[in-house]
Amino acid sequence: MRDYLEALHEDAAKDPEQRARELSRRELPKRFYKSAEHIETEDGFAIHLDGRPVKTPAKSTLLLPTEVLGAAVAAEWDAQEKEINPARMPLTRIANSAQDAVANRFGEVADDITGFAANDALCYRADDPESLCDTQRRVWDPVVEWAGDQLSGRFVLIEGIMHTPQDQALLTAFRTRIGEDSPLRLAGLHTVTTLTGSALLALALRDGFLDADSVWTAAHVEEDFNIERWGEDAEAKQIRAYKRSEFDAAALVLANA
């Protein structure tokens, strides 16, 4: 079966907003199949379209490790209407990226996530107004303290924008902790990290310290503060909804891979 997503497959490192805009400008392929289902194989769950397996852009059979994820990816394909729109298939794209890219560049991806931990959004604090500072302390401090305890160290908190380096031993412990994940889990972790700007929030979700809704709320403390003061425009709301669908897909991967 010709891979109808090959020309539309985007770089996993792209910002979701940029990705959505690029995909919306491209000519989308027509839906060519009647049914999508997940089929158990010796190596995992494949996605079949009218009985023919879906391929990744690199031409390998797309495989999911669990039935939950296989069913969810099949549901994405089944939900396509007249056209196949990758912007509405975040699980498929994460799985493609994991299989084609992360599996071959695992160390680079893990290093990139660790780089976020070295400059984590949760460590950069506002110095005013006091109400925002209080919310950051209430929502973020437990995550930062938990992460430090897990990694046998303490993250440095910074007020303002001046960079302060984190302890290298702490970052090494972080890198070691994520280094045994599967490519799919690492792809999910990378997606959560880039969407939230926080490797600590991603780790908290991965390890079950916070649930998905709590992580999403924590990642938007400053944005929600500004919305309360100034309101939210329609485009920003649409972008946030798109990012939430990406986030939810990654959260599903972390919970079930």
pLDDT of the residue at 13:
41
Query: CA distances (Å), 253 to each of 53, 93, 94, 104, in order?
Result: 21, 12, 9, 19
What is the phi-psi region of residue 53: left when phi exceeds 0, alpha when psi lies from -120 to 50, beta otherwise? beta
For residue 159, is pLDDT > 90?
no
Q: Which helix (H) or strand (E) holds 108?
A: helix 106-118
pLDDT of the residue at 22:
60
**2 pLDDT band (50/70/90 cuts)?**
very low
Whether the CA torsion 94, 248, 183, 123 is positive or negative: it is positive
Question: What pTM, to 2 d.p., does this model score?
Answer: 0.89
Per residue in 179-238, pLDDT tens? 999 999 999 999 999 999 999 999 999 999 999 999 999 999 999 999 999 888 888 889
Q: What are phi and psi of 105, to 5 degrees?
A: -130, 40
Residue 167, Cβ density class (10 Å: 0-12 exposed, 13-18 middle, ≥19 buried) = middle
* CATH class, 106-256 region: mainly alpha
3-class DSSP assignment, residue 81: coil
Per the CB < 8 A criterion, the answer to whether 82 and 70 are in contact is no
Q: What is the C-alpha to C-alpha distance for residues 185 and 177, in angstroms, rounded to an integer?
A: 13
Average pLDDT for residues 133-151, to the nearest whole number? 98
pLDDT of the residue at 160:
72
Q: Which residues of 82-107 are buried (b: 16+ CB within 10 A; e: fewer)?
A: eebbbbbbbbbbbbbbbbbbbbeebe
Query: Between 14 and 102, where is the model more confident?
Result: 102
pLDDT of the residue at 27:
80
Q: What is the C-alpha to C-alpha distance for residues 24 and 22, in angstroms, rounded to an integer?
A: 5
> Parallel, antiparallel, or unpaired for β 44-49 and 124-125?
unpaired
Query: Between 93 and 234, where is the model more confident?
Result: 93
**10 pLDDT band (50/70/90 cuts)?**
very low
pLDDT of the residue at 21:
59
The ranges assigned to domains in the chain are: 6-85, 106-256
pLDDT of the residue at 20:
57
**Which residues, other chains included, contact 45 with Cβ-Cβ below 8 Å and sequence gap of 6+?**
38, 39, 63, 64, 65, 66, 67, 69, 70, 71
pLDDT of the residue at 162:
75
Query: CA distances (Å), 234 to each of 163, 191, 216, 227, 244, in order?
Result: 33, 24, 19, 12, 15
Q: What is the C-alpha to C-alpha distance for residues 232 and 220, in angstroms, rounded to an integer?
A: 13
* CATH class, 6-85 region: alpha beta
Mean pLDDT estimate for the chain: 90
